[in-house]
């Protein structure tokens, strides 16, 4: 049993609505001049520094702010190859349609396990260095039984939040045989992948010739559910469409992108707010020159929202949650407090996790420190690398990558 007290915390954001003596005005559970005691990787005590209990170790945070580590609930880190030229072409007006995914599939299939593992590890390290402590990782650039299964095996080395995305696009070799590909995904591929995945996802997008229709997506998600996986949906990214409707109908934990939402979509999401989270991915709008969804409209309607990076080689090759927060504040109508909540408790909820996203006794010690006196600097100092996940004394797994909970 080793304990460490972190003191000298100028501002502590806990997201704990029950914390005594905290400022709860924006649901952040904020304390000034605070301390946190970590014991064996878990939060043991939170409160004013002057009342901190003794601990084996003392670490001075030096007047910085500490926040709950970011929960990045949507990423595609298992890929090889480079698509920067596609990004450059888009910036001159070429629209995104999902066709470039095939290039990543070719490069990923050609990579060795060691190469893929090193690529994922470097991206996960990049995330931690920017304050992320939990990441969800999807497959989706293998699109064969063997390549999807190994993508998930490698992802599972870094996180328990793994998502089978065999229904990312129809691979070129199945272009004229779509029903056969859906059969493969829901049959042999699902059987090989389900043991390595917690979630199943589908790119449901009638505006892309490569992605899946509402009916195809329903078949894929239903098969996944029957195999014991919980559901997520890529929906409403390139235009108005059925993604939100389908996600709500099937009780998915999250529908992600939500770039184009009708009034009916918003009403359905609000009515399903206990079950289905709308995950917004503003890095995608940035990198595809798309209009940003109005997050204010969603909050005002009672929709539960999350923010995530969608780090992937096509629509957003940024792993930076601070960048996502800055975009959400500047372009989507959120206050800095709302953006931080969406990127922590909101994204935790989208993963159906109650043990992360808040600094509360009993939770994993997922602490992120800011080289700044307040969380407001996250969007105020956009582009400046002020956030990093804190490796806490006596907690080895915090130093090894992204937090991996025992409850997989
Ligand atoms: O979430 N929309 C589908 N999938 C990814 C992009 C994949 C790619 O272009 O490589 C996304 O935006
Ligand atoms: Fe995605």
Work out the number of other CB atoms within 10 angstroms of the CB of residue 68.
Answer: 31
State the pLDDT at residue 399.
Answer: 35
State the pLDDT at residue 1.
Answer: 77
| Percent with pLDDT over 90 in the chain | 95
Closest ligand 1 atom, CA of 208?
2
- Is it the case that residue 178 has pLDDT exceeding 60? yes
Contacts of 177 (CB under 8 A, 6+ apart): none
Distance CA 195, CA 149 (A): 9
Distance CA 230, CA 220 (A): 12
Find the 6 Cα to ligand 1 centroid distance in Å: 39
When pLDDT is averaged across residues 154-169 and rounded to a whole number, the result is 98
E strands, 313-407, are 367-370, 387-389
When pLDDT is averaged across residues 47-58 and rounded to a whole number, the result is 97
Which of 312, 313, 318, 319 has most ligand 1 atoms within 8 Å of CB, for mutation? 312
pTM: 0.96
E strands, 272-365, are 277-280, 305-307
DSSP 7-44: EEEEEEE---TT-TT-B-TTSS-EEEEEEEEEETTEEE
Confidence of residue 404 (pLDDT cuts 50, 70, 90): very low
Distance of CA 186 to the CA centre of its chain: 25
- Is it the case that residue 20 has pLDDT exceeding 70? yes
What pLDDT digit, counting tens, does each position of 329-353 carry? 999 999 999 999 999 999 999 999 9
Confidence of residue 225 (pLDDT cuts 50, 70, 90): very high
C-alpha distance from residue 139 to each of 77, 86, 260, 290 (Å): 8, 21, 25, 25
Please say whether the beta carbons of 54 and 35 come within 8 A.
Answer: no
Which of 314, 317, 324 has most ligand 1 atoms within 8 Å of CB, for mutation? 314
State the pLDDT at residue 394.
Answer: 34
Distance CA 100, CA 98 (A): 5
Mean pLDDT score of the chain: 95
When pLDDT is averaged across residues 270-282 and rounded to a whole number, the result is 98
Q: Which residues, by Cβ under 5 Å, contact ligand 2, an ion?
A: 310
Say whether 138 sits in a helix, a strand or coil: strand
Q: Which token pair is 25?
A: 């005005």
Which of 101, 171, 235 has most ligand 1 atoms within 8 Å of CB, for mutation? 101
State the pLDDT at residue 271.
Answer: 98
Confidence of residue 397 (pLDDT cuts 50, 70, 90): very low
Find the 218 Cα to ligand 2 centroid distance in Å: 18
Find the 314 Cα to ligand 1 centroid distance in Å: 6
Tokens 């080689």 locate to 313
Please say whether the beta carbons of 236 and 258 come within 8 A.
Answer: yes
- For residue 196, give the DSSP letter: G
List domains and CATH numbers for the chain.
Answer: 3-68+358-399 (2.30.40.10), 70-350 (3.20.20.140)
List, edge to edge, every strand of the sheet that includes 277-280.
70-72, 132-138, 161-167, 199-204, 230-235, 254-257, 277-280, 305-307
Q: Which token pair is 316?
A: 């957003």
| Percent with pLDDT over 70 in the chain | 96
Tokens 């996986």 locate to 229
| Residue identifier of the C-alpha nearest atom 1 of ligand 1 | 310
Q: Given the DSSP bridges, would you call strands 305-307 and 42-48 parallel, antiparallel or unpaired?
A: unpaired
C-alpha distance from residue 46 to each of 59, 148, 354, 399, 401 (Å): 14, 42, 18, 22, 24
Distance of CA 169 to the CA centre of its chain: 20
- Taking CB atoms and a 6 Å cutoff, what residues make up the pocket around ligand 1? 98, 100-101, 104, 203, 234, 237, 284, 310, 312-315
State the pLDDT at residue 408.
Answer: 31
- Is it the case that residue 144 has pLDDT exceeding 90? yes
State the pLDDT at residue 254.
Answer: 98
State the pLDDT at residue 393.
Answer: 39
Closest alpha carbon to 139 in 189, 82, 76, 191:
76
When pLDDT is averaged across residues 199-205 and rounded to a whole number, the result is 98
State the pLDDT at residue 374.
Answer: 98
Distance CA 14, CA 32 (A): 11
Measure the N-to-C terminal CA separation of the chain; round to a whole number of Å: 24
Distance CA 375, CA 47 (A): 18
When pLDDT is averaged across residues 271-285 and rounded to a whole number, the result is 98
Say whether 336 sits in a helix, a strand or coil: helix
Distance CA 142, CA 240 (A): 28
- For residue 342, give the DSSP letter: I
Closest alpha carbon to 15 in 277, 366, 331:
366
């Amino acid at each position: 049993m080793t304990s460490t007290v972190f003191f000298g915390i100028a501002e502590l954001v806990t997201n704990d609505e029950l914390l005594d003596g905290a400022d709860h005005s924006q649901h952040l559970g904020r304390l000034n001049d605070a301390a946190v005691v970590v014991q064996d990787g878990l939060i043991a005590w939170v409160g004013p520094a002057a009342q901190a209990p003794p601990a084996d170790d003392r670490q001075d945070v030096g007047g910085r702010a500490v926040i709950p580590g970011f929960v990045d609930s949507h990423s595609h880190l298992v890929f090889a190859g480079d698509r920067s030229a596609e990004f450059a072409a888009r910036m001159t007006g070429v629209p995104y349609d999902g066709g470039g995914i095939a290039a990543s599939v070719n490069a990923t299939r050609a990579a060795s396990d060691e190469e893929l593992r090193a690529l994922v590890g470097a991206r996960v390290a990049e995330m931690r260095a920017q304050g992320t402590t939990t990441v969800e990782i999807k497959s989706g650039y293998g699109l064969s039984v063997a390549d999807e299964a190994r993508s998930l095996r490698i992802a599972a080395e870094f996180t328990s939040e793994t998502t089978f995305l065999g229904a990312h696009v129809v691979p070129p070799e199945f272009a004229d045989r779509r029903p056969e590909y859906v059969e493969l995904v829901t049959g042999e591929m699902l059987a090989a992948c389900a043991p390595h995945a917690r979630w199943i996802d589908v790119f449901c997008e009638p505006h892309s010739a490569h992605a899946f229709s509402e009916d195809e997506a329903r078949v894929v998600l239903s098969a996944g559910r029957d195999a014991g996986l919980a559901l997520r949906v890529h929906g409403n990214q390139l235009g108005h469409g059925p993604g939100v409707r389908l996600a709500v109908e099937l009780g998915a934990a999250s529908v992600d992108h939500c770039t184009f939402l009708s009034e009916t979509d918003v009403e359905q999401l609000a009515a399903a707010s206990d079950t289905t989270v709308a995950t917004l991915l503003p890095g995608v709008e940035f990198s595809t020159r798309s209009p940003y969804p109005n997050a204010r409209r969603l909050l005002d309607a009672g929709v539960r929202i999350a923010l995530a990076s969608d780090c992937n080689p096509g629509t957003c090759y940024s792993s930076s949650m601070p960048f996502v927060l800055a975009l959400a504040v500047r372009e989507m109508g959120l206050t800095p407090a709302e953006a931080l909540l969406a990127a922590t408790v909101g994204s935790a909820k989208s993963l159906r996790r109650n043990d992360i996203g808040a600094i509360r006794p009993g939770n994993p010690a997922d602490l992120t420190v800011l080289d700044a006196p307040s969380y407001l600097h996250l969007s105020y100092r956009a582009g400046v690398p002020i956030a990093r996940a804190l490796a806490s004394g006596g907690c080895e797994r915090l130093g090894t990558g992204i937090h991996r909970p025992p409850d997989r």
